[in-house]
Structure 1
Amino acid sequence: MNATETATRATDSPKTDPIVRVIDLHKSFGQVEILKGVDLEVHRGQVVVMLGRSGSGKSTLLRCVNHLERPSSGTVIVDGEVIGYRIKGDKLHELPPSAIAKQRTRTGMVFQSYNLFPHMTVMENLIEAPRRVKGVDRATATRDALQALEEVGMAHKADVYPSTLSGGQQQRVAIARALVMKPSVMLFDEPTSALDPELVGEVLNVMKRLATSGMTMIVVTHEIGFARGVADEVVFMSEGRLVEKGPPSQVIDAPAHESTRSFIDSIL
């Protein structure tokens, strides 16, 4: 089955099928193959935590899910729609940047660094994308932004500039900025790795509340406590491949693969 047939069959699947489907995903940078045929399914309301050593392909996989990185081959489907492409006849055609930007509104992305605009207030940071990408009017965007800020405990900082906030506060604003787009899936790429240890908890608590609320989440992290307590499924990646997956009690506490055991032992 070629890529177009795979994509067509996957998008024709029933609504009960996974909200995210990654099918035989490959990604190379020059001669270096980072992803080597990854398959992953995430169901609505599920929290999937991805573990693995630096360079195993976790962040690249996340960036392919919302087409920040263009896959070398394979297919990513979110909410029944092929990401980055349209199907025409028996071929896949890459979408223009404006169409890809609209698709990305389905996948809220939170990075290691906060990437807030320093010249804008917190509120201005949040309403920028809804107004520019989705064409939302200012009043509606402001209302939605306040709601998102309340969800992360930052509504009282709506009118300040990012430079006045701690790292943990900036990351909570970054989460709110993703939430205000009302995504189907939230993607977290090591969201606490740049924080001082005493600030990690406040961000993890926000993520736990999102998980409890039913938000679909794919989280790249080394926070084993979070993975054990919140994840429905843990995925371990090594050298560009998905080596092991299952509930936390299996992958973290009783891993079957030697590379998983070695990794878990190194961080516990």
Structure 2
Amino acid sequence: MNQDQSDPIVKIIDLRKSFGHLEILKSVNLEVRRGQVVCVLGRSGSGKSTMLRCINHLERPTSGAVIVNGEVVGYRVKGDKLHELRPNEIARQRAQTGMVFQSYNLFPHLTVMENLMEAPCRVLGRPPAETREEAQRLLNSVGLSDKADAYPSTLSGGQQQRVAIARALVMKPSIMLFDEPTSALDPELVGEVLEVMKSLARSGMTMIIVTHEIGFARQVADEVVFMADGCVAEQGPPSQVIDNPQVEATQIFLRSMTERRDAPIS
């Protein structure tokens, strides 16, 4: 875990997001410093995933701003106004933020190696030989050195998610975003993905992780954010938010997670 006190790599300012009349995010403010691991907890519908998707402009904020590496995401500042960037400019910004989803989103018609090489070569114009070498190094790091020529359909869910992590890392992002990356996995496969994420945390990668894995969050997070009703309800180190929560909504959520974990299997 890291406690780098440099300027924030991600700064979320008064972020709001509505879908029609439904307000999902209500004035979210958050800073993430370089090298930090931030775990975001909360019930389904609390706005966790929407906040994550606003960070790389997969969702356009209704108001407020997200700043990554000193740039307003999705917009150019001109005077006191924001002008939306062109798609190719947004793609350039998005390359700074690797994202891993609940589903693996691998191209089924491409091999594992081709999945990893597609974006760096096509979007960033990197040389194929150099990209292949980096992709193989990353496959080695996630324990899949022998799967370069395999197709996604031949892999387990845990293996596919590890490929998805390697695919995000091959773009050399400055921050990794994880949206409940283990929620679609069978229980016996969760551990192998969490081990890769723990290794990333130890390496100093900046990460924002939406997760329901409370033990994992306690172990790797520098800071835990609990969201409720579209707002940040509580924020602090794991020793505070997980082990000694001050907000009733946090207490109820953690109690429900403990009860679910301890419930007998019928």
TM-score (norm 1): 0.94
2: CA distance between counterparts of 1:47 and 1:63? 17
Query: Normalising by the residue count of structure 2, what TM-score does the alignment of the two structures yield?
Result: 0.94
Tell me the SS of whatever aligns to 2:139: helix
CA shift at 1:132, angstroms? 1.3
Give the aligned length. 254
Residue matched to 1:218: 208
Secondary structure at the aligned position of 1:155 is classed as: coil
Aligned to 2:149: 159
CA drift of 1:89 comes to: 2.2
The 3-state SS of whatever aligns with 1:143 is helix
- Rounded to whole Å, the distance in 1 between the matches of 2:210 and 2:8 is 19
Match of 1:104 among 94, 105, 109: 94
Matching residue of 2:71: 81
Q: Identity over the aligned pairs, expressed in percent?
A: 73
Cα distance between partner residues in 2 of 1:171 and 1:159: 16
Greater alpha carbon shift after TM alignment, 131-140 vs 173-182: 131-140
Q: Distance in 2 between matches of 1:62 and 1:55?
A: 13
Aligned to 2:46: 56
Look up the equivalent residue of 1:97 and give its one-letter code: P
Q: Deviations over 1:19-67 (max 9, x none)?
A: 0000000000000000000000000010000000000000000000000
How far residue 236 of structure 1 moved from its aligned partner, in angstroms, is 0.1
2-structure distance, mates of 1:154, 1:105: 23
Q: Could you tell me which residue of structure 2 aligns to residue 202 of structure 1?
A: 192
* Alignment partner, residue 244 of structure 1: 234
| AA at the equivalent of 2:106 | L
Shift of 1:155: 1.8
Paired position in structure 2 for 1:68: 58
- Aligned equivalent of 2:264: none
Match of 1:116 among 106, 109, 112: 106
Instruction: Show structure 1 runs of 4+ deviating over 3 A.
Output: none
After TM superposition, give the deviation of residue 141 of structure 1 in Å.
Answer: 1.2
Per-residue CA deviations over 1:207-235 (Å, capped at 9, x if unaligned) read 00000000000000000110010000000
Match of 2:119 in 1: 129
Structure 1 gaps of 5+ residues are 1-14
- Give the Cα–Cα distance (whole angstroms) in 2 for the partners of residues 235 and 202 of structure 1: 24
Which among 18, 37, 42 is matched to residue 27 of structure 2?
A: 37
The answer to whether the aligner puts 1:259 opposite 2:233 as a matched pair is no
What is the distance in 1 between the residues matched to 2:7 and 2:14?
A: 17
Amino acid in the other structure paired with 2:52:
L
Of the three residues 214, 224, 235, the one matched with 1:234 is: 224
Aligned to 1:11: none
Q: What residue identity is the alignment partner of 1:170? A: Q
Root-mean-square deviation over aligned CA pairs? 0.9
Counterpart residue identity of residue 20, structure 1: V
1:17 aligns with 2:16: no
Task: Name which of structure 1's ranges 81-90 and 117-126 shifts more when overlaid on structure 2.
Answer: 81-90
Amino acid at match of 2:103: S
For residue 69 of structure 2, what is the amino acid of its counterpart? D
Does the residue aligned with 2:201 lie in a helix, a strand or coil? helix
- AA paired with 2:228? S
Distance 1:95 1:148 in 2: 31
Deviation at 1:16, TM superposition (A): 2.7
Q: How far off its partner does 1:90 sit?
A: 2.2
Residue 170 of structure 1 is matched in structure 2 by 160
Partners in 2 of 1:178 and 1:143 — Cα distance? 15
CA distance in 2, matches of 1:68, 1:151: 28
Give the distance between the partners of 1:100 and 1:132, measured in 2 at CA.
15
